[in-house]
């Protein structure tokens, strides 16, 4: 693997791509440390360093921003608005016929959908920046007695909102630059960098609070979790497809064999994001009604605010399973796949084309989605279980969204480098 990595840097064009990605990442991480205008940096750091202050409601957004959100930097929103916009557009493609027609138009239609995603990203960034700055001005962002801003005037408010929205636009541009001129998917690599940025501090916090023995145990368990995640992420059910030979003019086409790869984790990390976002609503409702004596506020505070209660864990697990089936159902259409196979003369050996093929694909997909949903639910619960067993915080490094993002993006990037190395007759990273 090391020799293949050296070969990647020996290839001039691949070396330029890797160095370009590294340069963008350095600029991106530098921007994540620059505070927005009007932020009282000393008070923010003092509030974040106080262990009695709670920031649990914003853990997911703070994770995707590499800790920049609670520090109120120019890249405070991170890549989260783009992720949200992309998910919304994927859902709308199924609902709105116009978007569905654009998707079927090929590259031109996809370019148009990408443009809509950019506009929606800026709109969501503007809304989120307004909410975050308003919470920081009122003191509800970190639950700290110190003022987070130098002043709470309208001018400072507007400047911070515009700065954070512009920061999101710059991040989106960085991601597209990496995709076009670098290696791998730009947005995924930026998310990977933000998650990895919080990993060492979260891991070292376990050592400080629990000692070396628990730290060593966490490392050992973490390696097992990483191995299990790699195994499941690589697992797929390959459905064989045979294409009949057909004459087009004077040329013979078809007669080839291929397969449809159905991954065990077909939904990726999206169900975890859906479930986490939905469970943030009760916690936010409690935060905005802390002075209320209503019964529903005490119930939500008891069961859904910390994540350590069994009811919270069961609800979280059930939501992940539900959203896994929901997301797979809208991203993989057995009817469309069966129609395309029939159109081009393809068939599954032993299965008739048309409706029987559609039923077979639906049957296989429902069977492999179940272990994928259970796997996602278990991985997402690891930080919550660690919260109960060793008193770790909800940013526990080995588990949940962090480990899924790190392993998934790393595998995808290594595969792309591998394919480019193989084009140049090198062995690559993954040897047979």
Question: Looking at the 3D structure of the chain, how many domains does it have?
Answer: 2
Out of 182, 209, 224, pick the residue that ends a domain: 182
Task: Indicate whether 274 and 387 sit together in one domain.
Answer: yes
pLDDT above 70 covers what percent of the chain? 79
CB burial readout 202-219, b (16+ within 10 A) else e: bbebbeeeeeeebbeebe
Task: Indicate whether 239 and 113 sit together in one domain.
Answer: no
Report, as an integer, the average pLDDT of 398-422.
77
Cβ contact 94:100 at 8 Å: yes
Out of 182, 207, 237, pick the residue that ends a domain: 182
Task: Indicate whether 178 and 203 sit together in one domain.
Answer: no
Model confidence over 386-395: pLDDT tens digits? 666 665 555 5
Task: Indicate whether 346 and 296 sit together in one domain.
Answer: yes
Report, as an integer, the average pLDDT of 295-310.
67
All residues at 6 or more sequence positions from 287 whose CB lies less than 8 Å from its CB, including other chains: 57, 140
Q: Per the domain annotation, does 376 fall within a domain?
A: yes
Q: Per the domain annotation, does 14 fall within a domain?
A: no
Give the CATH number of the domain where residue 287 resides: 1.10.3370.10
Closest CA to 119 of 93, 88, 91: 88
pLDDT for the residue numbered 251: 65
**Residue 289 banded pLDDT, cuts 50, 70, 90:** low
Question: Has residue 348 got a pLDDT over 90?
Answer: no
**Residue 3 banded pLDDT, cuts 50, 70, 90:** low
Task: Indicate whether 92 and 213 sit together in one domain.
Answer: no
| Least trusted range by pLDDT, from 162-176, 322-336, 414-428 | 414-428
pLDDT for the residue numbered 231: 87
Task: Indicate whether 120 and 207 sit together in one domain.
Answer: no
- Give the sign of the dihedral formed by CA 410, CA 412, CA 413, CA 418: positive
Secondary element (H or E) of residue 263: strand 257-263
Look up residue 282 and give its two tokens.
């009760």
Model confidence over 190-213: pLDDT tens digits? 888 888 877 777 777 777 777 788
Cβ contact 151:38 at 8 Å: yes
Task: Indicate whether 299 and 390 sit together in one domain.
Answer: yes
Task: Indicate whether 215 and 139 sit together in one domain.
Answer: no
pLDDT for the residue numbered 147: 78
| Least trusted range by pLDDT, from 103-117, 200-214, 373-387 | 200-214
Task: Indicate whether 391 and 319 sit together in one domain.
Answer: yes
Cβ contact 137:149 at 8 Å: yes
Model confidence over 60-95: pLDDT tens digits? 666 667 677 778 888 888 888 888 888 888 888 878
| CA atoms of 389 and 305, how far apart (whole Å) | 18
Q: Per the domain annotation, does 21 fall within a domain?
A: no
Q: Per the domain annotation, does 12 fall within a domain?
A: no
pLDDT for the residue numbered 57: 53
| CA atoms of 71 and 128, how far apart (whole Å) | 15
Highest mean pLDDT pick, 178-182, 253-257, 283-287, 385-389: 178-182
What's the domain range around 317? 198-432
Task: State the chain's mean pLDDT as an integer.
Answer: 79
Query: Most distant CA pair in the chain: distance in Å?
Result: 82
pLDDT for the residue numbered 329: 85
Task: Indicate whether 414 and 366 sit together in one domain.
Answer: yes
Q: Per the domain annotation, does 20 fall within a domain?
A: no
Task: Indicate whether 41 and 127 sit together in one domain.
Answer: yes
pLDDT for the residue numbered 162: 93
pLDDT for the residue numbered 432: 46
Q: Per the domain annotation, does 25 fall within a domain?
A: no
Q: Per the domain annotation, does 26 fall within a domain?
A: no
Report, as an integer, the average pLDDT of 258-267.
85
Q: Per the domain annotation, does 257 fall within a domain?
A: yes
Task: Indicate whether 164 and 303 sit together in one domain.
Answer: no
Question: Has residue 344 got a pLDDT over 80?
Answer: no
Report, as an integer, the average pLDDT of 132-150.
77
Please give the C-alpha separations between residue 114 and each of 28, 157, 172, 189, in angstroms, as whole numbers: 22, 30, 11, 18
Block residue for tokens 């076009």? 180
Out of 134, 153, 182, pick the residue that ends a domain: 182
pLDDT for the residue numbered 121: 92
Report phi then psi at 248, rounded to 5: -125, 105
């Amino acid at each position: 693997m090391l020799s293949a990595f050296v070969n990647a840097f020996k290839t001039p064009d691949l070396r330029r791509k890797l160095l370009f990605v590294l340069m963008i990442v350095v600029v991106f991480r530098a921007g994540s440390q620059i505070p927005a205008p009007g932020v009282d940096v000393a008070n923010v750091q003092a509030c974040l360093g106080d262990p009695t202050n709670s920031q649990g409601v914003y853990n997911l957004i703070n994770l995707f921003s590499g800790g920049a959100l609670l520090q109120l930097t120019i890249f405070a929103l991170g890549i989260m608005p783009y992720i949200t916009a992309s998910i919304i557009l994927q859902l709308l493609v199924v609902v709105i016929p116009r978007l569905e027609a654009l998707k079927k138009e090929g590259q031109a239609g996809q370019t148009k959908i990408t443009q809509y995603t950019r506009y929606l990203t800026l709109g969501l960034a503007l809304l989120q920046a307004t909410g975050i700055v308003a919470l920081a001005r009122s003191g509800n962002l970190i639950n700290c007695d110190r003022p987070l801003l130098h002043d709470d005037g309208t001018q400072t408010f507007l400047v911070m909102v515009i700065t954070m929205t512009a920061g999101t636009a710059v991040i989106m541009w960085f991601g597209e630059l990496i995709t076009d001129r670098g290696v791998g998917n730009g947005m995924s690599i930026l998310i990977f960098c933000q998650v990895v940025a919080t990993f060492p501090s979260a891991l070292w916090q376990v050592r400080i609070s629990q000692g070396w023995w628990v730290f060593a145990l966490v490392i050992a368990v973490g390696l097992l979790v990483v191995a299990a995640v790699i195994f499941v992420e690589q697992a797929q059910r390959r459905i064989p497809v045979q294409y009949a030979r057909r004459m087009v003019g004077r040329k013979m086409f078809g007669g080839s064999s291929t397969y449809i790869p159905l991954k065990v984790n077909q939904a990726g990390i999206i169900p975890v994001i859906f479930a986490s976002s939905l469970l943030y609503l009760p916690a936010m409702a409690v935060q905005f009604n802390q002075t209320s004596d209503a019964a529903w506020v005490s119930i939500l505070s008891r069961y859904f605010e910390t994540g350590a209660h069994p009811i919270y864990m069961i609800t979280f697990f059930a939501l992940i399973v539900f959203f896994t089936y929901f997301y797979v159902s809208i991203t993989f259409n057995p009817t469309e796949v069966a129609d395309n196979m029939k159109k081009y003369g393809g068939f599954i050996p032993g299965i008739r084309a048309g409706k029987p093929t559609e039923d077979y694909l639906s049957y296989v997909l429902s069977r492999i989605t179940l272990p994928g949903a259970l796997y996602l639910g278990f991985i997402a619960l690891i930080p919550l279980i660690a919260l109960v067993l060793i008193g770790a915080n909800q940013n526990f490094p080995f588990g949940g969204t962090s480990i899924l993002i790190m392993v998934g993006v790393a595998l995808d990037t290594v595969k792309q480098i591998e394919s480019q190395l193989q084009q140049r007759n090198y062995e690559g990273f993954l040897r047979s």
